[in-house]
Chains A and B, each alone.
Chain A
Amino acid sequence: MKLTIKYFGLLAEVTKRNEEQLDFSGTLINELLDTIYLKYPKLKEIDFQVAQNNEIVSKETIITQTEIALLPPFAGG
């Protein structure tokens, strides 16, 4: 499955892109993250949440949609 991965905040800085296309053949969000971690090991050090088709989901969720967003918390004010 071809997925579109969106990166927010610090994650976009680490990956040096706001979004990209990834080929993925697994099932769960967690498996997708393992693939992404291989590409960007630094992401492992950052806390973030995952949204599937603009809906925040747990990392044990089965991937059924093609748009995945990775969202870190922001502290600034």
Chain B
Amino acid sequence: MTRYDRHIILSEIGQKGQDKLTQAKVLVVGAGGLGCPVLQYLTAAGIGTIGIVDFDIVEKSNLQRQVLFGTSSLGKNKAIAAKQRLLDLNDTISIHTYPEKLTHKNVLELFKDYDIIVDGTDNFATRYLINDASIITNKPLVYGAIYKFEGQVAVFNYQNGASYRCLFPTPPKEGAIPNCSEIGVLGVLPGIIGSMQANEVLKIILGLGNILSGKLLCYNALTTQTTTLIIHKVESEIKKVLSKKESFQNTVEELNCNFNPPEISIEDAFKKRNIQFIDVREKDEFPKVDSLNPTHIPLSELENNLHKIDLKKKKIIFCQSGIRSKKAVSVLQKHNINNSYSVKEGASEILEYIFAREKI
């Protein structure tokens, strides 16, 4: 067996350590900027069982940093596309894909089968869900997060250590902190932060070195400075999560988070530039508003058709009365797709407005 030779000849690892890696089960949530390097190194290192959770589709704008994917992956589910590449890297391990959204309903069952959880997600709702589920299932959580040129790494819930809520007790206000798809990120940054996460995973499994527990490492790619902050465990925050254990699976995903979807009049919608009109009515609903050349995605199918949303454009969403379109904006927000507006008027009024406009 020469594949792991460079591990095995390290006296700190040896065949015994390599066997620990083979027996380990690691679940990576999010196969994006962070998930790709994490998965790549864990696969190469010979982690015996790896799970990948991601409901998202590979887009061209991902390729600048999500290094497991190529042009042949475009349009494919990220978990499945990642698995294809990873099996080429190492076909001696088991890789399980979960091309679905992590929810309160499925998270506990999923975490149960793994030893370590890696958070490579891109939104606060999922980060808090992962943290809480890690506390309830008592799994160490290797956390990473990025913002433009800066990154954070930490290990939470490790041997009863501090959790994400001990650092940030509650999610920030909706829309207060933007994510990469909205504001951009230096492509190599998730590579650095994700590699640090992979390093913590390997250390936990091998029992080597000092685990980044009770600490938050902050890295700035522009100044090449790192700052390590000490996080104290806050028992009351952890107790709060554990007290919800019984009702956890029945918690409904928050769609709105006290957030009012932005509305727009059809008149103002026409004043905007670079827009995609989206009709969220069912196929058989009339009147059609063909002159807007809208993308048809019924609200009921929206979550499965996020790839049809043009992230570079402003999304002007309409329906029959302005109610479903509001829900659609919330759904997009939940998936971190911003810059969407719900048209106040229904399709008939929109059509009337277009006719009146053409007469002038």
Give A contacts to B, CB under 8 Å.
6, 8-10, 18, 45-47, 49, 51, 54-56, 69, 71-77
Contacts and interface: CB of A to CB of B under 8 A. Distances in A.
Given A75-B123, A77-B180, 9 more contacts: A6-B227, A54-B230, A56-B167, A71-B216, A73-B177, A74-B151, A75-B127, A76-B145, A77-B119
A6 to B, nearest CB: 7
A77 B147 contact: no
B33 A76 contact: yes
Nearest to A10: B177
Interface string B151-189: 110000000000000011000110011111000010000
A26 to B, nearest CB: 23
5 contacts: A6-B227, A9-B147, A73-B145, A73-B167, A77-B30
B167 A74 contact: no
Interface of B: 30, 32-35, 119-124, 127, 144-148, 150-152, 167-168, 172-173, 176-180, 185, 190, 216, 218, 220, 223, 227-232, 336
Contacts of A73: 124, 145, 167-168, 172, 177
Contacts of B151: 74
Given A8-B218, A54-B229, A75 B177 contact: yes
B217 to A, nearest CB: 11
A74 B151 CA distance: 8
A56 B231 CA distance: 6
A54 B218 CA distance: 11
Contacts of B230: 51, 54-56
Nearest to B144: A77
Given A75-B179, A77-B35, A9 B148 contact: yes
B147 A74 contact: yes
